[in-house]
Amino acid sequence: MSTPTPYKQIRALHTPRTITLYQAYNHPIASAAVSAQSLTASPLFKTTRMTWIKPSWAWMLYRSGYSFKDANQSRILALTMSHEDFLWLLSQGVVSHRSPEEKGDQGGKKLGGVRIQWDPERDVKMERLGYRSIQIGIPGGEVCERWVGMVKKIEDVTDKARELKRVIDERPEVTVGVLKEMGLVPEEKVFEIEDEEVRKRLGMDWPVEPE
């Protein structure tokens, strides 16, 4: 009997040293970023604006409509970071929806720093699942400038997203196992957060929120 997936858990494509996250951009930003291996290669990319990254391939597909949703999300990039840099980013996190204690003490204060949201996870067919997926909002300014320097590799995975949608449309009963064999779904495994202070900042152990 399989163990139920924890309500808040980070799942990602990762190696012993790196982790992959996703974000969608428009054509000029994505093309320049892949070519130069730098998100700031295009002047259209603004480090003064907040950007959201996520480790869930399925949630990225949901958010961007498999890259078809709109022109500003027409290219999906896979961004590789080191474990150390990713954990630093999380250590700066502030959960968008605070715990009951925090709401009572600081409910009127504006959130700052890296934003953390736990949104309903999806499968690659866009079905809602019974647990959450982390979204990480990187604020404009010094944190964003530091983060873009942490990205070690940039890969365009738009074609993979679109091929996945084509296969699902043509074969609605196709299983995730087959999609993985086709190289269209990555093998995302649990990325353990052992630091109790970071877990607390991320709200990973808060009571399950009512749907």
Across the chain, mean pLDDT equals 91
For residue 142, is pLDDT > 70?
yes
Over the stretch 93-116, which tens digit does the pLDDT of each residue have?
999 865 434 443 333 334 458 999
Q: Which residue has the higher pLDDT, 2 or 24?
A: 24
The two tokens of residue 140 are 């404009």
Distance from C-alpha of 205 to C-alpha of 8, rounded to nearest angstrom: 8
Distance from C-alpha of 154 to C-alpha of 148, rounded to nearest angstrom: 11
Q: Residue 40 — very low, low, confident or very high, per pLDDT cuts 50/70/90?
A: very high
Instruction: Pinpoint the alpha helices (H) of 42-195.
Output: 57-64, 83-91, 100-106, 142-150, 158-170, 176-181
- Kindly state the DSSP code that residue 109 receives in the 8-state scheme: S
Percent of the chain with pLDDT strictly greater than 90: 86
Confidence at residue 210, expressed as pLDDT on a 0 to 100 scale: 57
Residue with tokens 């480090």: 47
Q: How far apart are the first and last CA of the chain?
A: 26
Q: Are strands 11-12 and 51-53 parallel, antiparallel or unpaired?
A: unpaired
Over the stretch 168-179, which tens digit does the pLDDT of each residue have?
999 999 999 999
Confidence at residue 72, expressed as pLDDT on a 0 to 100 scale: 96
Distance from C-alpha of 94 to C-alpha of 90, rounded to nearest angstrom: 9
Is the separation of the CB atoms in 10 and 134 below 8 Å?
Answer: yes
Over the stretch 119-131, which tens digit does the pLDDT of each residue have?
999 999 999 999 9
Instruction: Show the beta-strand stretches assigned E in the chain.
Output: 11-12, 18-25, 51-53, 75-82, 93-95, 114-122, 128-138, 153-156, 189-190
